[in-house]
Copies of this chain bind each other. A is one copy, B any other.
Amino acid sequence: MDSSQLLKGVLDLAVLAVLADRDSYGYDVVRRLREAGLEDVGDASVYGTLRRLFKAGALTSYVVASDEGPHRKYYGLNDVGRAQLASSATTWAAFAATMDDLLKELST
């Protein structure tokens, strides 16, 4: 849980944040992240993150059939996920503030 996790683990946070809004499936998570501004996220990264979070016990999962294509594997937050989201969000905020401080001194 040190901030080093944050250095690479921002995707986890982003994915959790998206799922907090509502349950979603991989393809849709990718779309929503890109719409939110993370245009460079690879689909494989998101699928990997979802599987990792699920394996870590932070997500629920259920499959839903679709009329417009193959089945969709929905993911949703459970209590563990919500806790992780809250704690990661806090860590992120602190880290971002630290970085902003560091960069702010450039102008002075």
Contact = CB atoms under 8 A, between A and B. Distances in A.
Contacts of A13: 99, 103
A68 interface: no
Give the bracket for the number of chain A residues in contact with chain B: 35 or more
Contacts of A40: 2-4
Nearest to A98: B37
Interface string A70-96: 000000000000000100010011101
B103 A17 contact: yes
A102 B17 contact: yes
Interface of A: 2-4, 7-8, 10-11, 13-14, 17-18, 20-21, 36-42, 85, 89, 92-94, 96-103, 105-106
Given A8-B8, A18-B102, 13 more contacts: A3-B39, A4-B40, A4-B42, A7-B7, A7-B8, A7-B10, A10-B99, A17-B102, A17-B103, A17-B105, A36-B101, A85-B106, A92-B103
